[in-house]
Amino acid sequence: QGFGAHGIEFLDCKRAVLDHSTARMIGASAVVISGGDRKNLVPSNNVVRDCEIEQTNRLWRTSNYAAIRLSGVGVTVENNRI
């Protein structure tokens, strides 16, 4: 709660899982997650599920930071309350 910029960052990961977590009052994106090989379409198998995300973009209100920001291949986002 109350992070300055992004809440949680998983960068260039494989099999990272964020499960049953709460993020609120975040400056930009609550979760930034990337991984996998786009060129060869190798999935990262990263997962964000059953999380509760509230009040993102608190510092940069005029920007369009997504609550969950994705990049890469094979990221699953399921059953989250945003």
Handedness of CA 50, 57, 65, 10 (dihedral sign): negative
Q: 14: closest CA among 47, 49, 39?
A: 47
Q: How far apart, in Å, are the Cα atoms of 44 and each of 7, 34, 59, 67?
A: 20, 8, 30, 20
Whole-number Å distance between alpha carbons of 18 and 51: 8
pTM here is 0.85
| pLDDT reading at 5 higher than 80 | no
Q: Residue 62's pLDDT band (boundaries 50, 70, 90)? A: low
Q: pLDDT tens digits, residue range 63-78? A: 678 899 999 999 999 9
pLDDT higher than threshold 80 for residue 52: yes
61 Cβ partners below 8 Å, 6+ apart? none
pLDDT digits (tens, 9 = 90+) for 8-51: 899 999 999 999 999 988 888 899 999 999 999 999 999 999 99
